Structure 1
Amino acid sequence: MKNTALTDTHTQLGAKMVPFAGYNMPVQYAGINAEHDTVRKAVGVFDVSHMGEFILKGDQALDLIQRVTSNDAAKLYDGKVQYSCLPNEEGGIVDDLLVYRVDEKTYMLVVNASNIEKDWNWISKFNTNGVEMKDISDRTSLLAVQGPKAAEALQSLTDLDLASMEYYTFSKGKFAGVDNVLVSATGYTGAGGFEIYVDNAHAQEVWAAIFKAGEPYGIKPIGLGARDTLRLEMGFCLYGNDIDDTTSPLEAGLGWVTKFTKNFTNAESLKAQKQQGVSKKLVGFEMLERGIPRHDYEIADAEGNVIGKVTSGTQSPSLQKAIGMGYVSADFAKEGTEIYIKIRDNKVKAQIVKPPFYK
């Protein structure tokens, strides 16, 4: 099991540690609901250093990214971030990722922790024009400072104007006395905030500085449990649950990051799928009766016929009701449609709603 540069800190703070994607990670400190609430109303800090980071450099870096990702990276400018997918050759998704344009010839790709090796091998397979690739995952710490008070809490630590940073942009500069820190106006919570990329050697001092500066704003450490409930309230996909090697970007509602204005892996068959229409769709739903939908529970129609399955589900701390996402036959994907979740031997009524659940 791998540790992050901050594992000892989490243990000292009394975090409940669990294995996640090959790492020893904090799942909660004070409790998932309290931590969730902190991020929605104030500011919290996640250690997400398990995520993977690759640097792609050279004249052909953009060309390689264009060939392996579904979104159009040619639209990026220096300091801009893009959400994208790595389609596979069978109609599914190798991974979802973020693409950062540092400059015209330098990009950073941020990939899911459980897919670092898989993604590296996949991209390398298409690197036929000598793009310099560097995996900096093991030496990079990533702190997600999320919540409506994040900009105020962090501003004293840097000259970068955090409040005016647009969503999905980034800057590099001095942060908490450390040079060359990448500060990105991104996150996986829908609560606003920043993701801070720093060398492992400085992770501890940056963490300490963030907590000192954030003290007047009620800053707290947050575990992966609340990260999951926060992202689900926004309807954000989690790789391995809502999207995987067998789900197409179009089925997953990711047509907005699938651009047929360029050629990329499996573009032709995805284009055909778009023209024909998909047979199943990823939908959001909320429970109308008591019961919590769990991953892999069957979804049925009124007659009890199985029409799909749950991919993510939880009791939403912000909404005080159970919500979920899952794939259903396209005929049942319309907003307002009543469906049933099979919970043990019961059919529990739910309704299709359009994410985000939390507005």
Structure 2
Amino acid sequence: MQKVAVLGAGSWGTALSIVLADNGHDVRLWTHRKQQADEINTTNTNKRYLQVNLPQQIQAYDDLEKAIDDVSAIVIVVPTKAIREVCSELNEKLRHQPTLIHATKGIEPESLKRVSQLISEEMSTYNYEDIVVLSGPSHAEEVGKRLPTTVTVSSVNEQNATFTQDLFINESFRVYTSTDMVGIELGGALKNIIALGAGISDGLGYGDNAKAALITRGLAEITRLGVSLGASPLTFLGLPGVGDLIVTCTSSHSRNWRAGNLLGKGHKLDDVLEQMGMAVEGVRTTKAANQFAREQQIEMPITNGLHQVLFNDKKPRDVVDQLMNRSKREEMDDLAAFIRTDFRD
């Protein structure tokens, strides 16, 4: 049995806490809301975020220092915008060196940095190479119900990756390992952009043909950007790539799909975000990816179109028309470029 602190009591943090509790670990679920901690501890529920009964091994804390006391691992599951603040506070309060794992899918718009990079900058006693990322096609609602789910954990430090694999793996939650941390993080973050687009397409009533094309060409954009940052193109054909992309673009569980669906039906972005009541990571990630693509001259027409919808008040239907009327090209050009990149002499 391990003592594990999970920082962030939203739907995903709660679901991962259930997995850890099912594995017999002592789980400390931290939230900055005392009322939420009291609900979890008195009723074994977290109704705003997940409609399941929680194992009694999950103990909620609203005091970060108490939550992390003497733990073997810390799992960070707060929104990207809160990563620096939480890690800065964690850096001040942490008195030992537990394994640090994050399961947040996003990119910081201002710096274009991945979550592991943000953590390593704020945590003075941790090297980037020792941080572990957990990602893959994993709706919290299904994980919380113990439905079969498979994810990938990645770290440059293979020992830490294996430790994390052993921490989480069970009969309903299968865990693979990988050393391509860049690809794992980018796949998990960038798929949220395409999920927004898939939701918009469905909101416009464009059907399955359009969504299939969007997902496929979206994967090409994700891979193009990922390879430019040093990821292996093969990673995007795995669970944190095409796997996460499919589940996020096709399910009503997906916050990004739901947000896009409302945008496609004519709702304004501010109203959509207020209605969602939870972080929609794809909005911030679209801004970051579009900025990077422009600076590095990487072709990402879907991302650019979504940026116009989200931040320039462009009508979704007009953006679709714009995408459909782009100049002719050979589809396999992208695939050939990826293969040459990964298998060059």
TM-score interval (norm. to shorter): under 0.3
**For the pair shown, which has the larger CA radius of gyration, 1 or 2?**
1
- Higher RCO (CA 8 Å, separation ≥ 6 residues): 1
Q: Which structure: greater strand fraction?
A: 1
Q: Which structure: greater helix fraction?
A: 2
